[in-house]
Amino acid sequence: MNQKIGFIGLGQMGRPMCRRLLAAGFDLVLHDLDPEVAAPLLAQGAAWAGTPAEVARACRVVITCLPTPQAVEEVVLGPTGLRAGWQPGDLYIDMSTNAPSLIRRLAQEAAQIGVGVLDAPVSGGTVGAEAGTLTIMVGGEAAWLDKVRSLLEPLAARIFHMGEVGCGNVAKLVNNLVGLACNSISAEGMVLGVKAGLDPQILYELMTVSTADNWSLRQYPRTVFKRNFAPGFKINLAHKDLTLALALGREHGVPLAVAEAVKADLEAAIAAGLGEQGVDAVILPREARTGVVVGGPTQEHQPKGVATWS
Which residue among 5, 8, 30, 82 contacts ligand NAD (CB under 6 A)? 8
Q: Does 300 bind ligand NAD (CB under 6 A)?
A: no
Tell the burial category of 25 from Cβ atoms under 10 Å away from its Cβ (0-12, 13-18, 19+).
exposed
Which residue among 46, 56, 63, 66 contacts ligand NAD (CB under 6 A)? 66
| Residues facing 122 on adjacent strands | 136
CB of 78 to ligand NAD, least distance (A): 8
Between CA 28 and CA 205 the distance in angstroms is 43
Question: Nearer Cβ to ligand NAD, position 8 or 53?
Answer: 8
Closest residue to ligand NAD, Cβ-based?
A: 11
Between CA 142 and CA 54 the distance in angstroms is 28
Q: Does 13 bind ligand NAD (CB under 6 A)?
A: yes
Q: Does 122 bind ligand NAD (CB under 6 A)?
A: yes
Residues 189-248 that bind ligand NAD (CB under 6 A): 232-233, 237, 241
Tell the burial category of 176 from Cβ atoms under 10 Å away from its Cβ (0-12, 13-18, 19+).
buried
DSSP 8-state code for residue 85:
G
Annotated catalytic residue, options 4, 147, 172, 234: 172
| Strands 116-119 and 122-123, sheet pairing | unpaired
CB of 211 to ligand NAD, least distance (A): 26
172 is catalytic: yes
Question: Nearer Cβ to ligand NAD, position 127 or 142?
Answer: 127
Q: Among candidates 279, 284, 177, which has minimal Cα distance to 230?
A: 279
Q: Does 168 bind ligand NAD (CB under 6 A)?
A: no
Q: Among candidates 60, 46, 88, 89, which has minimal Cα distance to 2?
A: 60
Which residue among 6, 16, 67, 193 contacts ligand NAD (CB under 6 A)? 67
Radius of gyration of the chain (CA): 21
Query: Which of 19-27, 102-110, 123-131, 139-147 is the region at the interface with ligand NAD (rule: CB under 6 A)?
Result: 123-131
DSSP 8-state code for residue 7:
E
Q: Does 135 bind ligand NAD (CB under 6 A)?
A: no
Between the alpha carbon of residue 26 and those of residues 59, 151, 179, 279, the distances in Å are: 11, 8, 32, 32
> 156 with 20: CB under 8 angstroms?
no
Which residue among 96, 169, 183, 223 contacts ligand NAD (CB under 6 A)? 96
Catalytically active residues are: 172
Residues that bind ligand NAD (CB under 6 A): 8-14, 32-34, 37, 65-67, 71, 74-75, 96-97, 122-123, 125-126, 232-233, 237, 241
